[in-house]
């Protein structure tokens, strides 16, 4: 029986080139202008995002026999994995994406810049060194998360006006560590020939292949031509063009034909360049090399946030389980992680991400012969809340079950479970990885295609538009009860980002669907959906009670925690702050124990917001916001940044406020989220860091139309000039105040209380 897996290694680099335009579905949101360029995958257009009015670059990729969805989906997975705060400055930002049946589109920030090495290229080593060092620093971090670019060349490294290189076009990059074959290995090699490392013709791509391309780029910038096969001649040419001899030796080392003769990593190259600059020998244990005195059993030896992701402590704990004797055994185990490209060394400390830890922490030994048993193990882990561990197992289950002789039943069961895990985890990087693996399956049946469509609908709900709901409504009902409940969950969740009326329709439809299935599990699901509807209708006490019922009926730990946090959020809006804080604290502990970072972050936000509203003195927690930025969850980053910026506003801490508002804008801008961005814009005006504009004057009206009168009044109080408010406007603002009972009007509803709002607006209490 043939394999169910489509192997993207069989694809050629040369794909379609077309003068056609993106489809109408793209034009709904983007005003597409002229073409910026065309390549093997498709055409890049200049465009304007109609929602945010920002300039973007829109890459439209039509499919054909050679160019398939799997290739594009892997590019999306890679770009999402790289959207981390310490990598973003050197990697193009992915703002939006979509994959259809016949084409795909990627929307990225538009980089205004020149080809590497920038405007000052060709003027000698002094001009080349800054952009080259910056590029190597970015590559060190890109390689640290298991990504190899595979097509580095001047056209794919744009240097902005500040002299900072930005890496673009990850269309043929590879993702994963040892054991996962890079997509550029095999019979067909894709890339631009002068920059392709010699070993790429017979072996998978590694970080050293990218370093070869960097060497070619540096040589071309200094000498003006491609390097010759004679490395001695290359060294002489570099020195003749003014490069210091020690630097020439480093650059020539990048051009070595055998990968083992090149520097081991980008960190190694940086160390050698630094030594050449100082006129000294490289340190005995330079960047990228683990120093023998490093105590790998201490969390301080690891990079990464201890908040939410718990990376340092979890890495130490995992080392302790796998090498209980410590000492040399622990170091040897860590070296295995580094050699497998699951960890790296940076500035003397070890860097490892959550995905790598969860892969290593999956039950061992991994059973590659009986994927059905692994599927049962993944289901048990998912139910206990260990979603990321379950995901690591499901990757292998699908890989082995889809290989000859294909076990279609197991593949379908794994896809069922993985979809549930994706929706529960609220991590867009995980979603992209799932869609990549599913898109590689050939000969899909209707149910697999429907699972993929449902996941794409859920992925689209990150935007506050109707796209997610439209996609979800197009997915036909499932025979499987759990998938059918998930389908309705996505529809209700998507409707929340459209309008209250849309949500009412979807909840009513879900109730009718329950009538066709009397299974007890529907009771908790219906309670959860009704609770969400009651919340947006501002019937908070009733919403909290429905969510508590949902928590009682939840069968997965993650669902129970989420229901409790939904109840806590509703109790907070009902001014039961202490009750909200107790529920949030309990949810935070449970989420931390199960390593559910999104839910832990949400619990932190609810607890801190309720505490602030109840009068507990707090200071801005910038560390918490920075930790949340390591998750691919823009909604969470936005609410955390805005709430902590509110604390900075109250304290008059302008520097912290500006930093947090920049993070909030970065998280909210691509997704058209109104509630958080409206509060942020109002705070910026009130803080005096931005002058009000025409759009600000309409914010309160837009919020009231969205069904959030409390927030509408608060934004008006922060932005509007009380001396310019007319009589009719005053009456309207008074009506907004009446949505909060008189006995609660002295309590904060966010930034201000209702009493404070009316006082700022010079309106008598209603």
747-757 average pLDDT score = 92
pLDDT at residue 100, as a whole number: 80
C-alpha 330/C-alpha 323 separation (Å) is: 5
Poorest-pLDDT segment among 238-252, 339-353, 693-707, 736-750 = 339-353
**Kindly report the CA angle at 469 between 465 and 475, in degrees rounded to 5?**
150
The CA–CA distances, whole Å, from 588 to 36, 307, 565, 595, 607 equal: 47, 11, 9, 10, 9
* Residue 74 Cα distances to 7, 174, 759, angstroms: 12, 8, 54
The single-letter DSSP state of residue 246 is H
pTM of the model: 0.85
Q: How many residues are listed for the chain in this entry?
A: 766
Read off the pLDDT band of 614 (50, 70, 90).
Answer: very high
By mean pLDDT, which of 356-360, 420-424, 756-760 is the weakest? 356-360
Q: Which residue has the tokens 């090498």?
A: 323
Band of the pLDDT at 422, cuts 50, 70, 90? very high
Q: How far is CA 297 from the centre of its chain?
A: 29
Share of the chain above pLDDT 90, in %: 54
As annotated, the residues of the chain forming the CATH 1.25.40.10 domain(s) are 371-586
Return the pLDDT at 213: 97
The more confident residue out of 1 and 591 is: 591
**Among the listed ranges 11-15, 232-236, 287-291, 441-445, which one has the minimum average pLDDT value?**
11-15
Residue 259, C-beta contacts closer than 8 angstroms, at least 6 positions apart: 197, 199, 206, 208, 209, 212
Give the contacts of 532 (CB within 8 A, at least 6 positions apart). 492, 493, 496, 503, 507, 543, 566
Residue 346, classed as helix, strand or coil, is strand
CA-based nearest residue to 570, from 530, 598, 597, 618: 530
Predicted local distance difference test score (pLDDT) of residue 365: 45
Superfamily (CATH H level) for 9-109: Phosphorylase Kinase; domain 1 (3.30.200.20)
Q: What is the CA radius of gyration of the chain?
A: 27
pLDDT band at 265 (very low <50, low <70, confident <90, very high): confident
When pLDDT is cut at 50, 70 and 90, the band that residue 558 belongs to is very high
For residue 475, give every residue at least 6 positions away whose Cβ sits within 8 Å of its Cβ, in sequence order, or none: 450, 453, 454, 457, 487
> Which residues, at least 6 apart from 126, have a Cβ–Cβ distance to it below 8 Å?
none
Kindly state which CATH superfamily the domain 371-586 is placed in: Tetratricopeptide repeat domain (1.25.40.10)
Residue 368 pLDDT: 52
Tokens of 223: 């000498």
Q: What residue has token string 């209490």?
A: 765
pLDDT in tens, 711-731: 999 999 999 999 999 999 999
Q: Where in the chain is the domain with CATH 1.10.510.10?
A: 114-278
Asked whether residue 187 carries a pLDDT value surpassing 60, the answer given is no
Sign of CA dihedral 67, 11, 97, 165: negative
pLDDT above 50 for 91: yes
pLDDT at residue 669 is higher than 90: no
Kindly state the average pLDDT of the residues 52-68: 80
DSSP 3-state of 478: coil
Kindly state the average pLDDT of the residues 697-724.
Answer: 90
Enter the tokens of residue 596. Answer: 């559910």
Please write the tens of the pLDDT for every residue from 532-550: 999 999 899 999 999 999 9
The rounded percent of the chain whose pLDDT value lies above 70 is 89
Please state which of the ranges 128-137, 184-193, 303-312, 615-624 shows the lowest mean pLDDT. 184-193
User: What are residue 252's phi and psi, to 5 degrees?
Assistant: -70, -35
Per-residue pLDDT at 245 exceeds 90: yes
Helices 387-402 and 371-383, packing angle to 10 deg: 160
| Mean pLDDT for the stretch of residues 630-652 | 93
Stretch 121-125: mean pLDDT: 72
Give residues with Cβ within 8 angstroms of 222, minimum separation 6: 122, 124, 125, 128, 238, 241, 242, 243, 251
- Model confidence band, residue 66 (pLDDT cutoffs 50, 70, 90): low
In angstroms, the Cα distances linking 214 to 160, 272, 405, 407, 734 are: 18, 15, 42, 44, 64
CA gap 736, 412 in Å, rounded = 51
CA distance 389 to 363: 8
Chain mean pLDDT for the chain: 86
pLDDT at 87 over 70: no
Residue 662 C-alpha from the chain's centroid = 17
Checking if the pLDDT of 141 tops 50, the result is yes
- Quickly state the pLDDT bin for 183 (edges 50, 70, 90): very low
Pick the more confident residue, 312 or 351: 312
200-223: average pLDDT: 92
pLDDT over threshold 70, residue 5: no
Report pLDDT for 450: 93
- pLDDT given for residue 765 in this prediction: 76
Domain covering 114-278 assigned CATH 1.10.510.10 in the classification? yes
- DSSP E strands, 696-740: none
pLDDT digit string, tens, across residues 353-404 = 888 888 788 765 444 558 889 999 999 999 999 998 899 899 889 888 888 7
What is the distance, to the nearest Å, from the Cα of residue 526 to the centroid of all Cα atoms in its chain? Answer: 30
Q: How far apart are CA 446 and CA 465, in angstroms?
A: 27
Comparing 172-176, 233-237, 730-734, 761-765, the range with the smallest average pLDDT is 172-176
State the number of CA atoms in the 13 A half-sphere of 632 facing the CB. Answer: 28
Q: What is the Cα–Cα distance from 236 to 225, expressed in whole angstroms?
A: 14
Contact 704, 698 (CB under 8 A): no
pLDDT for residue 529: 95
Q: Is the pLDDT of residue 627 over 70?
A: yes
Give the mean pLDDT of 93-112: 87
Q: What is the pLDDT of residue 120?
A: 57
Q: How confident is the model at residue 509 (pLDDT cuts 50, 70, 90)?
A: very high
How confident is the model over 430-452, as a mean pLDDT?
85
CA atoms of 382 and 364, how far apart (whole Å): 17
pLDDT of residue 717: 95
3-state DSSP assignment of residue 739: coil
């Amino acid at each position: 029986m043939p394999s169910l897996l489509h192997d993207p290694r069989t694809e050629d680099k040369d794909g379609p080139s077309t003068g056609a335009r993106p489809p109408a579905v793209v034009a709904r949101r983007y005003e597409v202008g002229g073409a910026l360029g065309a390549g093997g995958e498709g055409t890049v257009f200049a465009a304007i995002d109609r929602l945010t009015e920002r300039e973007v670059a829109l890459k439209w990729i039509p499919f054909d026999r050679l160019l398939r969805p799997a290739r594009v989906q892997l590019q999306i997975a890679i770009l999402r994995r790289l959207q981390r705060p310490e990598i973003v400055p050197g990697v193009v930002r992915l703002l939006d994406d979509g994959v259809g049946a016949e084409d795909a589109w990627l929307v990225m920030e538009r980089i205004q810049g020149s080809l590497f090495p920038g405007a000052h290229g060709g003027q000698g080593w002094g001009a080349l060194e800054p952009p080259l060092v910056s590029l190597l620093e970015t590559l060190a971090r890109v390689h640290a998360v298991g990504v190899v670019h595979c097509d580095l060349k001047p056209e794919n490294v744009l240097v902005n006006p500040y002299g900072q290189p930005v890496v673009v076009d990850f269309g043929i990059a590879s993702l994963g560590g040892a054991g996962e074959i890079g997509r550029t290995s095999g019979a067909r090699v894709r890339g631009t020939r002068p920059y392709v490392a010699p070993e790429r013709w017979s072996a998978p791509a590694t970080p050293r292949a990218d370093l070869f391309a960097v060497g070619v780029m540096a040589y071309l910038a200094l000498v003006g031509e491609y390097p010759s096969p004679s490395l001695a001649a290359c060294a002489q040419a570099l020195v003749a063009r003014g490069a210091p001899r020690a630097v020439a030796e480093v650059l020539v080392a990048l051009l070595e034909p055998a990968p083992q003769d090149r520097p081991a990593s980008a960190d190694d190259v940086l160390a050698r360049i630094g030594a050449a600059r100082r006129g000294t020998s490289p340190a005995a244990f330079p960047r990228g090399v683990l120093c023998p005195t490093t105590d790998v059993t201490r969390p301080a030896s690891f990079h990464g946030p201890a908040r939410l992701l718990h990376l340092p402590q979890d890495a130490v704990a995992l080392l302790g389980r796998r090498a209980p004797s410590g000492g040399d055994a622990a170091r040897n185990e860590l070296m295995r992680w580094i050699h497998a490209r699951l960890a790296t060394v940076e500035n003397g400390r070890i860097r490892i991400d959550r995905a790598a830890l969860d892969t290593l922490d999956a039950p061992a030994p991994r059973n590659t012969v009986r994927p059905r048993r692994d599927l049962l193990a993944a289901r048990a882990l998912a139910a206990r809340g260990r979603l990321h561990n379950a995901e690591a197992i499901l990757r292998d289950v699908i890989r082995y079950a889809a290989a000859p002789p294909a076990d279609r039943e197991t593949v379908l069961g794994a896809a069922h479970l993985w979809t549930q895990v994706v929706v529960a985890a609220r991590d867009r990087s995980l979603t992209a990885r799932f869609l990549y693996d599913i898109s590689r399956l050939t000969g899909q049946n209707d149910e697999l295609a429907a699972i993929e469509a449902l996941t794409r609908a859920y992925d689209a709900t990150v935007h506050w538009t109707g796209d997610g709901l439209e996609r979800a409504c197009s997915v036909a009902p499932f025979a499987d009860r759990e998938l059918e409940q998930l389908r309705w969950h996505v529809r209700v969740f998507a409707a929340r980002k459209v309008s209250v009326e849309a949500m009412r329709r979807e909840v009513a439809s879900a109730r009718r669907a329950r009538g066709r299935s009397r299974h007890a599990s529907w009771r908790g699901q219906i309670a959860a959906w009704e609770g969400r509807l009651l919340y947006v209708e501002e019937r908070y006490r009733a919403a909290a009670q429905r969510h508590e019922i949902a928590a009682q009926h939840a069968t997965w730990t993650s669902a129970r925690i989420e229901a409790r946090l939904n109840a806590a959020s509703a109790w907070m809006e009902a001014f039961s702050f202490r009750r909200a804080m107790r529920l949030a604290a309990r949810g935070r502990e449970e989420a931390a124990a199960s390593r559910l970072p999104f839910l832990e972050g949400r619990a932190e936000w609810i607890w801190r917001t309720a505490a602030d509203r109840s009068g507990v003195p707090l200071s801005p927690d910038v560390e918490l916001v920075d930790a949340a930025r390591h998750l691919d969850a823009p909604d969470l980053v936005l609410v955390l940044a805005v709430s902590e910026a509110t604390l900075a506003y109250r304290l008059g801490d302008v520097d912290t406020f500006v930093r947090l508002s920049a993070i909030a804008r970065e998280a909210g801008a691509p997704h058209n989220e109104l509630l958080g961005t409206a509060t942020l814009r109002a705070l910026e005006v009130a803080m005096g860091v931005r002058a009000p504009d025409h759009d600000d004057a309409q914010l309160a009206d837009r919020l009231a139309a969205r069904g959030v009168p409390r927030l509408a009044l608060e934004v008006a109080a922060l932005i509007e000039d009380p001396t310019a408010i007319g009589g009719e406007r005053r009456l309207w603002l008074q009506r907004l105040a009446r949505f909060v009972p008189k006995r609660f009007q002295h309590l904060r509803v966010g930034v201000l209380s209702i009493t404070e709002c009316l006082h700022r607006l010079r309106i008598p209490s209603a």
